[in-house]
Amino acid sequence: MKLITAIIQEDKLDEVREALTAAEIGRITVTRVDGHGRQEGTEIYRGQVVAPNLIPKVEVKIGVNDEFVDVTIDAILKAARHGENGKIGDGKIFITPLEECIRIRTGERGGEAI
């Protein structure tokens, strides 16, 4: 099992959700977050460079069984990218091992709980 975390631009959330639904990935968690990477947007105030502003983004978390990892990543990549080649600030995808998943209602564990 893997936990896929995607940080994407806010305007791409609907497209990513639709792409995931089309790929039969229906269980996601969405959180509004702020941050910056290469898309810093530095400002100069009174001749001084000030710390970059935090930019609103959306964090999408999806727990998947191993056989759905590539399908999920492909759906996010296609839907979250701006234009054919993308642009700075389109986001990142992180894939981490998911040690355990437990459905609270039934107590199911592992892949069955996802």
Which position has the higher pLDDT, 39 or 25? 25
One-letter amino acid for residue 80 of the chain: A
Give helix 13-22 / helix 69-80 axis angle, nearest 10°. 140
Q: Is the pLDDT of residue 96 over 80?
A: yes
The CATH class for the domain spanning 2-97 reads alpha beta
Q: What is the pTM of this model?
A: 0.85
Overall size of the chain counted in residues: 114
Share above pLDDT 70 across residues of the chain, in percent, rounded to a whole number: 89
> Mean of the pLDDT values across residues 75-96?
94
> Among 2-11, 39-48, 67-76, whose mean pLDDT is lowest?
39-48
Q: What's the first-to-final CA gap in the chain, in angstroms?
A: 9
Other Cβ atoms closer than 10 A to 80? 24
| Domain regions of the chain by residue span | 2-97
One-letter amino acid for residue 69 of the chain: V
